[in-house]
Structure 1
Amino acid sequence: MAKKISRTRGQAVPKSPVRRRSRRTIHRKKRAASPLWISLRNLFIWAVILVACVLLVLYIFNYASGRSKPDTSSFFIEKSLATDPLAGGSPSEALSGDGLALEIPILQNGQREQIIEHEGYTVSYNSDYRIANWVAYELTGEEVRKNTVERSNKFVPDPDVEGATALQEDYSGTGYDRGHLAPAGDMKWSAKAMRESFYFSNICPQKPKLNQGLWKDLEELSRQWAVEQGSLYIVTGPVIEPDLKRLGKNRIGIPRQFYKVICTTRDKERSGIGFLFENRGYGKTSLQALAVPIDSVEKVTGIDFFPFLPDETEKQMEANVRLESWF
């Protein structure tokens, strides 16, 4: 039976604690739902949305502005080609698109690349193989004649390389030379250019009989041609293939072939020559026997050389090679 609670007339009945908490809760809810609070909350939300919209518009504007201009920063070299001695007095022969350097090629084989500019050369570095796709530079007769800087012989990693790189120990005891692409002998006009020619981004594993044989002979002959003609545009590098063997702890790609292509002007006409070398010694083989049209090198490498020449000039220069004008 339920217990009855007696109550004397005039005696206050205690309020239930639960009821008091319930009333305070209701009061807080009413206060939270006040119009002022709702207005402030909505104002804050709209302010956040407005700021987000402004940032989005600015991002789209900057992106569109960047896309509207050709990205030439990676390819631009400060040497002015407007007075290029090979242009025959016509700047349009030497220049294409905001001062793009004539010697810079374009990859068409889908290889990874990072373009790095140094004092004496520009390199397209391939971090997959830790070697260059190509190294390009202009060699002038004046630079060859200057010849004032001693050889460095200090091989070091390129500080501008992003990603994996070769190290000194990768070559130790392997039987391969650290073969220059842009030779140190072409950089004796500048102490900085000489130091940078020993960056590993400019080095490839080469058999000693190639590096110290016909490869060296062609480097020396190129310097002679630069003096005779006034200037050469040179692109050189390894032939990148998907199944290259690897060297050392950092897995440096070992090329099976190397190439060098050269452009100059002879008798007021563009003249070009290409060379393909296997990574081996050649004994008494002559350089003439390895000379090929630049078109042939393009087919093997998947690289478009001297793309900033007028199309007709490029086509004629690369289709054949006149050995008698070179040797």
Structure 2
Amino acid sequence: MIFISKNKVSIPISLCIIALILCISACSNNDSNGGDLSQSGEAYWKISSTVKSASGSSAIIITGTPGTIWNAEITEGTTWCSCSSNDLTLSSKSGEIKEGLNILYVYYNSNTSKEQRIAKISLQFADQAAKVFDLVQLSESQQNLPAFKLWAEIPAPKENTSYQYVTHYALLNDKTIRNYSICFDKTKKAALWVAYPIHSAYLGSVKRTDRWAFDPIIPQSYQADCTIRSYGGSYDRGHQLPSADRDATDEMNAQTFYMSNMTPQLNRLNQDMWAKLEAKVRANNCSDTLYVVTGAYFGAGATTTTDGAKNTVPVPTNYFKVLLRTKSGKTGKNIKDCSDSELISIGFWVDHKSYGNIEPPKSICTSVADIESKTGFTFFPQVSSSVKQQNNPSQWGIN
């Protein structure tokens, strides 16, 4: 028998070989079994769980450990929903996560009924519990109107054949909640106002999705086409509801990239003072909820630019924000049940120009009532006119 010696300790080389074989075997087994145990996956709708009434397809993005097996099955809605564009009876599909982009496409027929319908897609990774995705298809005439008299942030409606009112919903902790509502002007190819609540429930750590897309509820012909590239000139695709106000879930954030939430906004306004104003607004969120309406105003002398497809679109002359919340932030009351002394409000009227990379100045601060007179809209209809006369910038962290 051959021995090797080191530091006066002799070890049979045959035993070394056996130990090496056992180690390799153990490592191999660990790679196999441990790999299975560490396999995991995540999935989310690419854009939204809500689609229009016309036939089409939606996509679920799949991410996770390469090699992880996934199984998907349509458990409800199989009469109009499928996993294949060629075989409308195919209700299940399996796959393995690869490096790069992994997508599960879900195909659906037209909904010609007067009611929306819901399909359910169950998706399971390896030995993880299955996750169920709801796909909501709107009816032909459905618009998802805001709850005008219920939600504190919704302005009073105005009758105008050019206006379309829409609310977008999203899933949060397996519950469907409102994301935001808009008053979209088809002649301006933009929302005149976007109303939304800000609360810690809407804030998280999801990365900005940058999934520029058409709003599925508004006819595409009325929307600016900046899904691939921005507006012409020095204009950004300016959010009215900021992406950073909706980073609790991927779906919530993706919906902020709808074209209906965009306007052509000067890059040196959008990225500088306006961005700081958005951060200042977000910092005022509270347990009772902060209610916000952001809007675009097209006044005298409004100019035009082009969208990403070279179509002419109007450029706003001004932007505004109006804010409402309880003074303490922790009353536990609905807005309609609060006294005037318990509420605070403020407005911001912004010229469409570069202010420089500065903090929001007091010069843009005004009252909600003043912005009502400028725009013709009635904001926060649940509160008194005296509350809407307030203009106290320091109360909102603006000095």
TM-score by length of 2: 0.53
1:182 maps to 2:241: yes
Structure 1 residue ranges (4+ consecutive) displaced by more than 4 angstroms after TM superposition: 107-111
Corresponding residue of 1:298:
372
Q: Deviation string for 1:285-316 (max 9, x for gaps)?
A: 64322110011111111110011x1xxx4211
- For the pair 1:289 / 2:339, whether they are aligned, the reply is no
| Aligned mates of 1:111, 1:263 — CA distance in 2 | 29
Return the match for 1:154 from 199, 207, 211: 211
Q: Match for residue 278 of structure 1?
A: 351
Cα drift, residue 259 of structure 1: 0.4
Local SS of the residue matching 2:384: helix
Which residue number corresponds to residue 325 of structure 1? 395
Kindly provide the amino acid, as one letter, of the partner of residue 274 in structure 1: G
SS in 2 for 1:171: coil
Q: Deviations over 1:80-125 (max 9, x none)?
A: xxxxxxxxxxxxxxxx85xx21111125585721111113211111
Displacement of 1:224: 1.1
- Which residue of structure 2 lines up, in the alignment, with residue 196 of structure 1? 255
2:191 counterpart of 1:132: yes
What letter is aligned with 1:216? A
The DSSP-based 3-state class of the residue aligned with 1:218 is helix
Distance in 2 (alpha carbons) for counterparts of 1:203 and 1:112? 17
Q: Tell me how far apart the structure 1 counterparts of residues 191 and 144 of structure 2 sit (CA, whole Å).
A: 19
Deviations 1:113-159 (A, max 9, x none): 11111132111111101000110011113323xx1311011211111
Q: 1:148 and 1:324, CA in 2 relative to 1: closer, same or farther beyond 3 A?
A: closer
Cα gap change, 1:231/1:298 in structure 2, threshold over 3 Å: closer, same or farther? same
Give the strand-richer structure, 1 or 2: 2
Paired residue type of 1:263? L
Deviations 1:46-71 (A, max 9, x none): xxxxxxxxxxxxxxxxxxxxxxxxxx
Aligned partner of residue 298 in structure 2, secondary structure: coil
- Does the C-alpha gap of structure 1 residues 251 and 314 become closer, same or farther in structure 2, counting only changes over 3 Å? farther
State the Cα distance separating 1:321 from its structure 2 match.
1.4
Structure 2 equivalent of residue 105 of structure 1: 155
- 2:222 counterpart letter in structure 1: A
Determine the C-alpha separation between the residues in 2 that align with 1:316 and 1:111.
32
Amino acid at match of 2:352: N
Residue in structure 1 matching 2:167, options 117, 121, 137: 117
- Alignment pair present for 1:316 and 2:386: yes
Q: 1:176 to 1:316 in 2, by over 3 A?
A: same
Q: Partner letter of residue 259 of structure 1?
A: F
The secondary structure found in structure 2 opposite 1:216 is helix
- Aligned letter for 2:318? Q
SS of structure 2 residue aligned to 1:304: coil
Q: Structure 1, residues 207-258: CA drift from partner, whole Å, max 9, x if none?
A: 111101121111111221104x541100011013376322223322200100
Q: Distance in 2 between matches of 1:212 and 1:258?
A: 14
Tell me which protein shows more helix as a share of its residues.
Answer: 1
Describe the SS at the equivalent of 2:280.
helix
Residue identity matched to 1:117: T
> Contact 2:214–2:258 at 8 Å: present in 1 too?
yes
Task: Write out aligned runs for 1:3-82 (5 A).
Answer: 74-76=145-147
Secondary structure of 1:198's aligned partner: coil
Letter in 2 for 1:254: V
Q: Residue in 2 aligned with 1:89?
A: none
Query: What is residue 236 of structure 1 aligned with on the other side?
Result: 294
Q: C-alpha distance in 1, partners of 2:271/2:378?
A: 28
Distance 2:316 2:360 in 1: 22
The letter for the 2-side match of 1:315 is S
**Aligned pairs, how many?**
228
Distance in 2 of aligned mates of 1:170 and 1:240: 23
| SS in structure 2 at match of 1:135 | strand
Match of 2:123 in 1: none
Root-mean-square deviation (Å): 2.3
8 Å contact from structure 2 (residues 277, 359) kept in 1: no
Structure 1 residue 167, shift from structure 2 partner: 0.7
Q: Distance in 2 between matches of 1:109 and 1:209?
A: 35
CA contact (8 A) 1:124 1:132 kept: yes
Q: Per the alignment, do residues 191 and 166 of structure 1 end up closer, same or farther by CA in structure 2, a change over 3 Å counting? A: same
Contact 1:247/1:254 (<8 A) preserved: yes
Change (3 A) 1:286 1:195: closer
Paired residue type of 2:163: E
**Secondary structure, aligned partner of 2:211:** coil
- In structure 2, the CA distance between the partners of 1:111 and 1:323, relative to structure 1 (3 Å rule), is farther
Structure 2 residue ranges without an equivalent (≥5)? 1-142, 170-178, 332-341
In structure 2, the CA distance between the partners of 1:73 and 1:314, relative to structure 1 (3 Å rule), is farther
Quick one: structure 1 residues 103 and 292, their matched pair in 2 at CA, closer, same or farther if it must change by over 3 Å?
same
Match for 2:290: what amino acid?
L
Task: Output the CA distance in 2 between the equivalents of 1:129 and 1:274.
Answer: 23
